[in-house]
Amino acid sequence: MKVLIADDEPMARERLRALLAEHPDLRLVAEAADGGTALDACAEHTPDIVLLDIAMPGLDGLEAARHLADFEPRPAVVFCTAYDEHALSAFDAAAVDYLVKPVRRERLAVALDRARTFVAGRTPKAEVAPGKRRTHLCARLRGSLRLIAIEDIRYLHAEEKYVVVHHARGEDLIEESLKSLETEFAERFVRIHRNCLVARDELVELRRAADGRIEAMLRHGEKPLEVSRRCVPHLRELVRAL
């Protein structure tokens, strides 16, 4: 069974590495020092178990775990942290166990047994807990991952079964529904069409095109976006408030 360790402290990784060596059925396939690198390594190595620190630079362990819940096959996540106040959030993120550092040999063995049971059953994808909105979206790129900060996204456009994320660094495809994104990020994005959500701070003005259609002008947009008739009244109110 494959294991990945994600912790920004070298000594913590070394201790976990030594404890894992006592379990002949487990094989350490990768280590990472932050959440983003951990996700990339998981995409490459598809570990069965991830031993995940919470307080790491960049993407923290809690958000990394929420992204891991969308992986197929979904790995068993065991949090290993120096603090116990994150326990409730950890289980909201669908962790199978929560260990407080320094990790004890006996306690790790119990957590690994729980992880083995989880892997044997492979439960369905976890839902994001209410009030736990992500700070990034995750796009898959030929075996690796790209994290896109929500604050960098300009608009989201649905095309068949994908959503095209237009952001400050370009465009990426994600396999999420526009409706679920609208629900999760209602404070950030506004619907302008059945197939398009726009970041509220990107809206500059509404214009009438030569053919009578209403279009939205974006702060960083190269071209206007079509607005559906049913969305016009609400958008006008938003633009007036700018």
Residue 105 lies in a domain: yes
C-alpha distances in angstroms, 173 versus 78, 89, 166, 177? Answer: 29, 29, 9, 11
**What CA–CA distance (Å, rounded) separates 226 from 222?**
13
Does the pLDDT of residue 224 top 90, yes or no? yes
Residues 31 and 79 in one domain: yes
Residues 21 and 103 in one domain: yes
Does the pLDDT of residue 115 top 70, yes or no? yes
Each residue's pLDDT tens digit, 228-237: 998 998 898 8
Residue 206 lies in a domain: yes
Q: pLDDT exceeding 90 applies to what percent of the chain?
A: 59
Residues 153 and 201 in one domain: yes
**What CA–CA distance (Å, rounded) separates 191 from 73?**
33
Each residue's pLDDT tens digit, 80-103: 988 766 555 655 667 888 899 999
Q: Which domain holds residue 113?
A: 2-121
Residue 110 lies in a domain: yes
Residues 111 and 179 in one domain: no
**The token pair that represents 24 in the structure block:** 């002949």
Q: What is the pLDDT of residue 120?
A: 87
**The token pair that represents 134 in the structure block:** 């992500």
Which residue type does 235 have?
Answer: L
Residue 175 lies in a domain: yes
Q: What is the pLDDT of residue 129?
A: 53
Q: Which residue has the higher pLDDT, 94 or 23?
A: 23
Cβ neighbour number for residue 175 with a 10 Å cutoff: 11
Contacts 24+ apart (CB under 8 A), 162-171: 165/137, 165/139, 168/220
**25-39, 67-81, 121-135, 220-234: range with lowest mean pLDDT:** 121-135
Partner residues linked to 227 by β-bridges: 214
Does the pLDDT of residue 104 top 90, yes or no? yes
Residues 112 and 9 in one domain: yes
* Full 3-state SS string of the chain: CEEEEECCCHHHHHHHHHHHCCCCCCEEEEEECCHHHHHHHHHHHCCCEEEECCCCCCCCHHHHHHHHCCCCCCCEEEEEECCCCCHHHHHHCCCCEEEECCCCHHHHHHHHHHHHHHHHHCCCCCCCCCCCCCCEEEEEECCEEEEEEHHHEEEEEEECCEEEEEECCEEEEECCCHHHHHHHCCCCEEEEECCEEEEHHHEEEEEECCCCCEEEEECCCCCCEEECHHHHHHHHHHHHCC
Out of 106, 121, 136, pick the residue that ends a domain: 121
Residues 19 and 65 in one domain: yes
Residue 138 lies in a domain: no
Counted domains in the chain: 2
Residues 177 and 229 in one domain: yes
Residues 99 and 152 in one domain: no
Residues 158 and 107 in one domain: no
Please report where in the chains the tokens 């991830």 appear, as a residue: 50
